[in-house]
A and B are shown apart, each in its own frame.
Chain A
Amino acid sequence: MARIYEYQSKNLLKKGGVPTPQGEVASTPEEARAVAERIGRPVVIKMQVWVTGRAGLGGIQFADSPEEAEAKARELLGKKVKNFVVDRILVEEKLDIEAEYFAGLVIDDAQKCPLLVFSSVGGTGIEEIARTHPEKITKMPVDILAGLREYQVRNLIRKTGITGKPLVQLSSLLTRFYKVAHAYDARSAEMNPLVLTRDGKIYAADCHFTVDDYAVFRHPDLGIEVAREFDRPPTELEKIAYQVEEKDHRGTFYFLQMIDEVSPQDLAIGFNGAGGGGSMMSMDAVLGRGFKLANYCDTSGNPAAAKVYRAAKIILSQPHIKGYFASGSGVASQEQYHSARGLVKAFYEEQLEIPGVIRLGGNFEEKAIEILGTYLKGIPGEVEGYGRDDSPEFCARRMEELIHAGESLGHRVRSIEVLSPPAERYSFEILTGNLFIDQDKCRDCQSKGCVEACTAGILAIEDGRAALAISREDAKRGKCTECLACEIFCKFHEQDAIFIHLPIPGLKEYRDSLINGLDPASDLGKDR
């Protein structure tokens, strides 16, 4: 449920014909003053944060003059409220209130339909209203195929005792509210309070929308950076991770940062779960051994190896984590060797120094564990692979033992090397990156095993050198499944001639700022 700000929700309502108070958003005290001047009446100033109960936190102020508006705006802007720093405020005309109502739209998972809720009492939270005035609340399921008709709303509101002009106004207003919410794929929408003014008009004085994460792609105009529900703005690393998820729909990559800055003393680990249920179970197992999670990550739904690789690179952008723990349900239906190869490429590039416990139980687990065991011998960190018959609790204990045995100071974040292969190097584009082959090295290759390793069968030997066997367009369109098998084979069994470049936009800059910010005198990152 991606949240949008009050002022954004109000703009949507306004466009859909639902009256809202006259007002504009401002991000400086001067702008606030200018808005108040344009309004020309007493105003209310509201901080724009995703926090309920703003009034109680001092986030809603009144001003009788533009000068006062500027002063109040100065107080609010920059203020820290829970996890937010106030960077914008809404300046609106102050309403002369006669009555307050509540209207909301939620999704009922039992009836599988939108549910319209109306209360003739508003202003406080709906749970509070339900407790104090249950008789004032009415609800109706909406037939999503037929839509919501004005007469249905009128019959609903009538039940709360409202009559006359407000009944007619509200019925029309709520019908339009539904249309807006539906058009924007609202996961929930709420107007609270709906205000009836003394001069007989009705306005959505406050409103709150969340947009369905899975439908955010239909609404680029909303400018939602990370379509996930958060009780805080997304972190930089979450934004980088989200771009990976957005650009690659093969499987799921969900990334949530749990600790903003892991300190060297924290017993925090990088967490890579697989599948919602298995991830939560595994999380419980590591928390049970006293670990903290630096992050929560889920790579499941049969992600490509390239996607797991990117997930690991992002997890390993968190300094001071003491270990890398991957575990899912243990009996996964996805081909686990994809995840294994993604991890191998990432761990090898990072020259991982912290221990890793990787539980890749399920379909092809033997092959997955073998890949980890074969190719991760050469890195400084100890990485162990486990399968379906090893419990998450056992694996969490192994994590603990390995961390204690190694006395590791924690993970060092490295800079990402800028890639500059010679222009004449043989290469072709793949779905989310580029594949380079140093064909000169193919001369010394005995096995030509890359062709066999390629599960998609897109490589062939031409004049003794490895090359693409299909058209470049097909490779780019996804015929190359980015399984990484050719690179890993060539690197460890042959000439190390193949390199698959899988860029992660923003990650290099992120790491560099981290390295510089952490300790400017440190030479971290220069060593490679």
Chain B
Amino acid sequence: MVWIPRRISGRIGKAMSILVDAASRVLVQGITGREGMVRTQLMKDYGTTVVAGVTPGKGGQNVCDVPVYDSVEEAWQASGPLDISVVFVPAMLVKNAALEAIAAGIKLVVIVPDRVPILDVLEIARFADIKGARFVGPNTLGLVSPGKAVLGMIGGRAESAREWFRPGPVGVTSRSGGMTSAISYYLTEAGIGQSTIVHVGGDAVVGMSHPEVVASFQEDEQTRLIVMFGEIGTTQEERVADLIENGNVTKPVVAYIGGKAAKSGTRFSHAGAIVEGTRGSHASKVERLQAVGVQVVDSIADIPQVAAQLLDSMGGKNE
């Protein structure tokens, strides 16, 4: 059963969103597990085209009317070309699963589990680079292009995902899963829709990080404004500032940086949110972003208003 969005404006209907579309053919790895089953239901209910699942040893079963295969290669042969794989296997098996998907020819892998060893992530990154593939995560809730498709577990179930996220001109990228949804929900409440919402993942090294997502939004016809939820630690926000400074990103960016109160050297749950020396600190990120013209807000609650003002100044509709 495919959910047809009620309101599709002409432009939104034609353009492909940055990473996924209703027509994208999606595989679920680990489809027979606790999360795999529940989120396959979410994705299907929302309108994502889930065509196959993989759990080694469980080939021949069905989950939510999706056929299960023993390997990605077998799934590809039986179900036809696959665009995207969403991975729900235990952390210690993620590397093997992601390499399998990429080797089979899948060009986008969404890695939901957390606690994936960092060297495993580096291996996936290197192999993806060689094969021309990309990945989101690990430790990601996933992403959603409102009215088209959801990948991962963002929204939890289709009903809430439909309520919280609406199509529109704002691209959202965030290092916090919960805040990805929160920001998007507050935008929706203010009558501002979203083009694509990406949770890049909470870890120290992730596949597509803020700069890669922001660069994609720059190329995306639907996106007119970018909202970024940054955090202390890593170089992601600084690299977004570099893109703006070099003129590679010209769309307006609104940012919030979390972790103002965090102590240096102590990690507050996200593995990526640790300040090493002065590098990656809250103050240094805010300063760097402001220097290139990013509107950095002090409170999440200010985002919808700032976004509305910027959109109004550019003209055009918000939904």
Give A contacts to B, CB under 8 Å. Answer: 1, 107, 109-110, 112-114, 127, 143-145, 182, 185, 187, 212-215, 217-218, 228-231, 249-250, 252, 254, 256, 273-281, 283-284, 287, 296, 298, 300-302, 328-335, 362-364, 388, 391, 478, 481
Contact = CB atoms under 8 A, between A and B. Distances in A.
Interface string B264-282: 0111111111100100000
A279 B261 contact: no
Given A229-B274, A249-B90, A277-B174, A212 B266 contact: no
B301 interface: yes
A254 B266 CA distance: 13
Contact of B268 (A113, A279, A331, A362): A279
A277 B175 contact: yes
22 contacts: A107-B118, A109-B235, A109-B272, A113-B122, A113-B125, A213-B271, A215-B117, A215-B118, A229-B265, A249-B91, A276-B202, A276-B270, A277-B179, A277-B229, A279-B269, A280-B262, A287-B261, A330-B182, A333-B141, A333-B154, A333-B178, A364-B156
Given A296-B268, A331-B178, A281 B153 contact: no
Interface residues of B, number: 65
A338 B234 CA distance: 32
Contact of A217 (B92, B120, B205, B261): B92
Given A114-B119, A329-B182, 5 more contacts: A143-B126, A332-B181, A333-B154, A333-B181, A335-B156
B185 interface: yes
A388 B265 CA distance: 31
A302 B185 contact: no
Contacts of B169: none
Given A114-B122, A362-B181, A363-B155, A280 B268 contact: yes
B177 A112 contact: no
B300 A281 contact: yes
A91 B248 CA distance: 56
A250 B91 CA distance: 11
A109 B176 contact: no
B119 A144 contact: yes
A481 to B, nearest CB: 7
Contacts of B157: 363
A95 B48 CA distance: 65
Contacts of A107: 118, 122, 204-205
For the complex of A and B, the 9 pairs showing the least CB-CB separation, nearest first, are A277-B176, A329-B178, A363-B156, A276-B270, A275-B178, A277-B179, A215-B117, A331-B181, A112-B125
A363 B141 CA distance: 13
Given A277-B178, A333-B177, A249 B123 contact: no
Contacts of A388: 182, 185
A229 B178 contact: no
Interface of B: 34-35, 90-92, 114-123, 125-127, 130, 141, 153-157, 160, 164, 174-179, 181-182, 184-185, 202, 204-205, 209, 229, 231, 234-236, 239, 258-262, 265-274, 277, 300-301
Contacts of A276: 175-178, 202, 231, 258, 268-270, 273
A212 B118 contact: yes
A47 B261 CA distance: 32
A281 B154 CA distance: 19
A145 B123 contact: yes
Contacts of B35: 302
Contact of B153 (A212, A333, A391): A333
Contact of B239 (A110, A187, A215): A110
Contacts, number: 180
Contacts of A328: 178
A231 B266 contact: yes
A363 to B, nearest CB: 3
A283 B269 CA distance: 12
A296 B236 CA distance: 25
Contacts of A185: 117-119
A331 B277 contact: no
A214 B115 CA distance: 5
A232 B92 CA distance: 28
A265 B277 CA distance: 34
Given A229-B265, A301-B114, A333-B141, A278 B234 contact: no
Given A229-B265, A302-B35, A333-B156, A182 B119 contact: yes
A144 B178 CA distance: 32
Nearest to A251: B114
Contacts of A300: 177-178, 269
B101 to A, nearest CB: 17
Contacts of B91: 214, 249
Candidate in B155, B178, B271 with the most chain A CB atoms within 10 angstroms: B178
Nearest to A333: B156
Candidate in A187, A279, A281, A287 with the most chain B CB atoms within 10 angstroms: A281
A277 B239 contact: no
Contacts of A187: 118
A106 to B, nearest CB: 9
Contacts of A218: 117
Contacts of A144: 119, 122-123, 126
Contacts of A274: 178
